[in-house]
Amino acid sequence: MTLTIDEIIENFSFIDDWEERYRYVIELGRDLEELSDAEKSDVNKVQGCVSQVWLVSEHRADKGSPILTFRGDSDAHIVKGLVAITLSIFSGRSAIDIQSLDAEKVFAQIGLRDHLTPQRSNGLTAMLERIKSDARKAM
């Protein structure tokens, strides 16, 4: 079951302890649909991540702006959870909406950026840039 970003934010609001929050992030990653071995290719690999991260984007035509759907995976538990949170923000939205969305506000709201290592933070930025790039290409 995929949660909306609003549900994830609400769930974070009930968890005070950061160790528990990390467990929740890992749990979110476990719920991601697995990517096939073929999808774990260099084409789908996100550059700039220390852990291996793959993002698959698909888009369908819509009257205004293409709608993008994202799937992703990682070889690291916490990073896989970050992928799940990121996908809940962007997947199923129009390319125009993706361009204007400020995911940093969401991560600030749940306090996540302050509790990530610099490497994970850089990887998260790389994921966000990749999603915005895929949205630009779809337009």
Is residue 49 flagged as an active site residue?
yes
**Local confidence band at 55 (pLDDT 50, 70, 90 cut-offs):** very high
What phi, psi does 43 have (nearest 5°)? -60, -40
For 36-51, the pLDDT digits (tens) are 999 999 999 998 878 8
CATH number at residue 56: 3.90.1010.10
In whole angstroms, what is the distance from residue 136 CA to residue 99 CA? Answer: 8
Say which residues have a Cβ less than 8 Å from residue 22's Cβ, sequence separation at least 6.
Answer: 78, 115
The answer to whether residue 3 scores a pLDDT higher than 70 is yes
Question: Structural domain tally of the chain?
Answer: 1
Phi and psi, residue 79, nearest 5°: -65, -40
Strands (E), 1-139: 53-60, 67-74, 93-94
Measured CA to CA, the distance from residue 69 to residue 82 in angstroms comes to: 17
Catalytic residue among 5, 25, 46, 49: 49
Three-class secondary structure of residue 3 per DSSP? coil
Enter the pTM of the model.
Answer: 0.91
Tokens of 110: 């749940």
Residue with tokens 């690999």: 45
Listed range (50-59, 72-81, 102-111) with the worst mean pLDDT: 102-111
Q: Which residue has the tokens 């290409």?
A: 137
Cβ 67 vs Cβ 60: under 8 Å: yes
Higher pLDDT, 48 or 78: 78
Domain that holds residue 54: 5-138
The pLDDT mean for the chain works out to: 89
Query: What pLDDT is stored for residue 1 in this prediction?
Result: 54
pLDDT value at 63 more than 80: no
